[in-house]
Structure 1
Amino acid sequence: MSQIQTPVSRPARADTQDFGLSGASILVIDDEPGMRNFLVKILKPRCLRVEQAANTGEAERLMDQVHFDIVILDNVMPGKTGLEWLREQREVGFYADAILITAFADLETAIQALRAGAVDFVLKPFRSNQILNAVARCLDRMHLRRENYLLKHELASDAAGERGRLLGNSEAIREVRTLLERAAPLPTTVLFTGDSGTGKEIAARTLHGISDRASKAFVPVNCAAISPDRIANELFGHVPDSSAPHPERKDGLFAHANGGTLFLDEIAELPLPVQATLLRVIEEKRIRPAGATREIPLDVRFVFATNADLPEAVAAGRFRADLYHRINVLNIPMPRLKDRIGDVQELALMFMQKISRDLGVLPLTLTEDVLVNLSRYDWPGNVRELRNLIERSLILGEFPPEFAGGQEGDTDAPTESLHVVERRHILAVLEACGGNRAEAARRLGVSRKTVDRKCAMWNV
């Protein structure tokens, strides 16, 4: 018989590095206590969680309680073989990657292992670095699969355009930051409400970024952007038809968010049948993909957003009352831009610098007249409208007339005079210091960063 050599994609290491395993959850299934102990001894110091089972019955009970990233499975065991068990589990909803270990193998066994869904194959006897390399390959594959899927999802939903920072120092935005800081270390469900364009997704990303899940995935889902007949499949995934020529499972967005944060935007647009399923998932932290008979344990932080009036939607029968009360634990209302008008200058400067760099054009000068007119506008489209105005102005090479020029009779307005005096004074001090910004900041009694920001805004 021709033996199958285990491929090694990275060099063996004799040191104590964790091979990227520190966040992995692994289940070892083998009827031999010595082999189980050997594998646990290798993996436990390097992994987040390692459990062991002497038979497939024990394994199934553990898998019903905890999600495992990888299962290391012996092929020759009493009763059914590891391959037979794996084939059965794939049909009922088995979402871990499997590594098959055996002392007896030929090409036919390897082919059967791949068809059953094993992603790697290790021959006994093996050294510790061989099993570590096999596990590392599985994790690399899992992470790459997740990153590719999430990238495609974000590109399709235009979610990538919503990245950014929660800027501003107004009282309204400081209150939002305080709530985010209080909620970040807790598993509490958060609901962001407010008008369209107020930055609900940016606030959700900020919450994720300051939580203990920051190193895990942030998965944004726009419930209005996915058709009602597809959204359940996209969220929960499905197990393959075993009779298909090339059966392949589809991990849903819930599975890809495991360990991280799932952000469901425009939650009011979720179809009623999916609302019922979502309520159960939130309460039980388990999902059942389409076609599966086993539920998968889930570790996800749920964050929601809407610009709709949810109590009105509940009264009209468009939104489940029990789901509304379940997600409305901590409601963070996002302020309108006209209620934080003091942040317009900082936001405009950030958008000007970022978008001009992205477009490869020179930034426009935010003059006193422009800043005053930006501050006087009501911004019905909120921060998104401000961003679009800056981008449009950069493309055209000038601001629209209603923002570009000063308004007659307003030259003595207190807001405008303050901008004019501030600019004249800072530039005069800079000139007196020979352009030395650090010295100018010292004389002005402000930070160097403040002087740099003002100069960038004025294109000095």
Structure 2
Amino acid sequence: MSHDSAAADTTDAPADIPADPWLARAHILVVDDEPGMRNFLTRTLAPRCARVEAVGDTASAGRLIDASHFDLIILDNIMAGRTGLEWLSDLRRDGFFTEVILITAFADLETAIEALRAGAADFVLKPFRTKQILNAIARCLDRAALRRENFVLRRQLGAQAKPEAPGRLVGTSPQMARIREMVTRAAATPTTVLITGESGTAKEITARALHEQSPYAAKPFVPVNCAAIAAEIIESELFGHVKGAFTGAASSREGLFFYAQGGTLFLDELAELPLSLQAKLLRVIEDRKVRPVGSDREVPIDVRLIAATNADLTEAVEAGRFRADLYYRLDVFRIHLPPLRERPEDIEPLARMFMEQISAQLGLPPLPFDRDTLRRFEAYPWPGNARELRNRVERGLILGAFDVGEDEGAPQDETEDLAEVEKRHMLRVLETAGGNRAEAARRLGVSRKTLDRKCAEWNA
């Protein structure tokens, strides 16, 4: 019998508590050696969350978390055998990062501080009302979701890359109609998808469309450019690490698989993965578990994996640069994106979509496409595919016109140095803002002081 046997106060009406969207999708584990508390929390949570399990000791809890993923653990502190804090400290040391709420009837400031140091997200005193524990759960789940979203946004900003448009697969060609059909079919299943195609053919947009149409859509989409991460740190980036795992590992850290938990991990430029990591990725796909660097514990994951490459993986396998077993494990459902030159009927809708997006971003009125410009666009081979087309539209919008040349059908904008392009762009934005420099600076993403200085240089 637990020494922590204070019962919960259930006098408030659970029906008065609004449903929480994160709780509705959560998998929760209750660890408490008092049957009454386990029964109360199970009755409270079962109608409100996706799954709840309740056990009376940490050994049973350990077996459950080794077998499947939980979004949150509600952990009693004073139990027979070992305390919840001792068990939590061991979990954190092994690289287990799931949110934990500690509940106890016997608490003082020292215990609260120890709980925070051990990695507890919240601390709830018994007896508690239904609303109290549900509010604590909601706070933990909200914080975890926000932390993951912020992490993904920081990575995108750190990459200094233009974010891809939301999952819009634009085009009227038969090839694009077929791709949209394949995306719809694949999205409904958890199957790993391999996307192939030349650089600039919108592989990430296709991956996002898969995610947004899937049961994983409410959880994170985490894109990873495998070529942009140094070989010596990519294992830690993907799987996380524990404190002291290597020189400089001053604290434990979650990996990208953890941040994609419940959602989609998109591995772009997959062929760039080191061979040693390819073997570990294969094991992750097969076992649905990751092992943080330096840890003895494997952590279950619930992640949809989408991979993409512009390389010929068959050739890479033959050359010994890519593992054959990983290739066959990934190549279950393939979506190949044809180059833009093979579907010229998609050029006009793509160009118009890019014009709409970029003009809104820059605060400039869209430029019209005359028939001659579109004819030249359709005749050009676009070696950079949709990405090159987008850049061409953006440049034309900044310059204020498409000057279409005759050589090889290529769309040629007039040549100006960077300073002149910058001047024309900034003055056009200022004009569209009605001369309001504060508004123009906001649209340009620069400070008012910078815009004032530029205008002074140009006598504008």
TM-score, normalization by structure 2 = 0.82
State the distance in 2 between where 1:163 and 1:403 align. 31
1:253 counterpart residue number: 256
Match of 2:36 in 1: 34
Contact 1:36–1:52 (8 Å) recurs in 2: yes
Aligned counterpart, 1:411:
none
What does the per-residue CA deviation read over 1:129-178, in whole Å, with 9 as the maximum and x for residues that have no partner?
Answer: 11111111111110111011111112223565222411011011111112
The residue aligned with 1:47 is 49
Shift of 1:14: 5.7
Which of the numbers 121, 126, 140 marks the counterpart of 1:119?
121
User: Equivalent residue of 2:347, what SS?
Assistant: helix
**Counterparts in 2 of 1:403 and 1:297: CA distance versus 1, 3 Å:** farther
**Once the two structures are superposed, what CA deviation does each residue of 1:78-112 show, in whole Å capped at 9, x if it has no partner?**
11111112112221222211111111111111111
* CA RMSD, 1 decimal: 2.2
Q: How has the CA–CA distance of structure 1 residues 139 and 248 changed in structure 2, closer, same or farther, with 3 Å as cutoff?
A: farther
Residue 393 (1) aligns with residue 366 (2): no
Distance in 2 of aligned mates of 1:159 and 1:294? 35
Matches within 5 A, 1:199-348: 199-241=202-244, 248-348=251-351
Deviation at 1:239, TM superposition (A): 2.4
Q: Which of residues 133, 142, 153 is equivalent to 2:135?
A: 133
Q: How does 1:84-103 map to 2 (within 5 A)?
A: 84-103=86-105
CA apart distance, 1:12: 10
Distance in structure 2 (CA, Å) of the matches to 1:37 and 1:49? 14
Q: Is the 8 A contact 2:355 2:366 kept in 1?
A: yes
Relative to structure 1, is the Cα distance of residues 99 and 144 closer, same or farther in structure 2, using a 3 angstrom cutoff? same
Q: For 2:54, what is the secondary structure of its paired residue? A: strand
The secondary structure found in structure 1 opposite 2:24 is coil
CA gap 1:309/1:232 in 2 versus in 1, 3 angstroms? same
From the superposition, tell whether residues 219 and 239 of structure 1 become closer, same or farther in structure 2 (CA, over 3 Å).
same
Q: By how many angstroms is 1:400 displaced?
A: 3.1
> Residues of 2 paired with 1:220 and 1:338: CA distance?
27
Distance 1:323 1:400 in 2: 48
Cα shift at 1:333: 1.1
- What's 2:7 paired with? none
Give the drift of 1:401: 3.3
Give the stretch that moved more between structures: 348-357 or 157-166: 157-166
Match of 1:65 among 61, 67, 76: 67
> Given that residues 24 and 48 in structure 1 are in contact (C-alpha distance below 8 angstroms), is that contact kept between their aligned partners in structure 2?
yes
Q: What letter matches 1:282 in structure 2?
A: I
Q: How does 1:168-207 map to 2 (within 5 A)?
A: 168-207=171-210
Task: Give a deviation string over 1:32-90, Cα, whole Å, max 9, x none.
Answer: 10111111111111111110111111110111111111111111111111111211222
Distance 1:286 1:93 in 2: 13
Contact 1:172 1:339 in 2 (8 A): no
Q: How far, CA to CA, are the matches of 1:390 and 1:319 in structure 2?
A: 37
Residue 154 of structure 1 aligns with which residue?
Answer: 156
What's the CA shift string for 1:221-273, capped at 9, x where partnerless? 1101111111111111112359x9x9753211111111111111100001111
C-alpha contact (below 8 Å) 2:14/2:130 kept by paired residues: no
Which has the higher Rg, Structure 1 or Structure 2?
A: 1
After TM superposition, give the deviation of residue 291 of structure 1 in Å: 2.2
CA positional deviation for 1:293: 1.6
1:15 aligns with 2:16: yes
1:140/1:73 CA distance change after superposition, 3 Å: same
State the percentage of identical aligned residues: 58
The count of aligned residue pairs is 394
Would the alpha carbon gap of residues 403 and 252 (structure 1) be closer, same or farther in structure 2, given more than 3 Å must change?
farther
- Name the SS of the counterpart of 1:148 in structure 2: helix
Aligned residue for 1:349, secondary structure, equals helix
Residue 379 of structure 1 corresponds to 382
Work out the CA distance in 2 between the residues paired with 1:338 and 1:350.
18
Q: SS of the residue aligned with 1:331?
A: strand
Name the SS for the 1:219 alignment partner: strand
- Partner secondary structure for residue 333 of structure 1: strand
Q: Does the 8 A contact of 1:239 with 1:248 survive in 2?
A: yes
Equivalent-residue separation in structure 1 for 2:313 and 2:243 (angstroms): 37
Counterpart-to-counterpart distance in 1, 2:192 and 2:143: 31
The one-letter code sitting in structure 2 at the alignment partner of 1:229 is E
CA contact (8 A) 1:369 1:403 kept: no
2:417 maps to none
Question: Which consecutive segments of 4 or more residues in structure 1 shift more than 3 A?
Answer: 11-14, 246-249
Note the alpha carbon deviations across 1:370-406, whole angstroms, 9 max, x for none: 11111111111111111010011111111133179x9
Give the counterpart letter for 2:369 in structure 1: L
Q: Which moved more, 1:96-105 or 1:11-20?
A: 11-20
Alpha-carbon shift at residue 28 of structure 1 (Å): 0.7
How far apart, CA to CA, are the structure 2 residues paired with 1:403 and 1:349?
Answer: 22
Whole-Å Cα distance in 1 between the matches of residues 243 and 102 of structure 2? 21
Distance across 2 between alignment mates of 1:241 and 1:27: 29
Hey, what does 1:417 align to over in structure 2? none
2:115 counterpart SS class: helix
Matches of 2:406 and 2:333 in 1, distance apart?
Answer: 38
1:104 aligns with 2:106: yes
Q: 1:19 to 1:209 in 2, by over 3 A?
A: closer
Cα deviation per residue 1:404-460 (whole Å; 9 max; x = unaligned)? Answer: 9x99xxxxxxxxxxxxxxxxxxxxxxxxxxxxxxxxxxxxxxxxxxxxxxxxxxxxx
Partner Cα separation in structure 2 for residue 277 and residue 137 of structure 1: 35
Report the equivalent of 1:419.
Answer: none
Q: CA deviation at 1:367?
A: 0.6
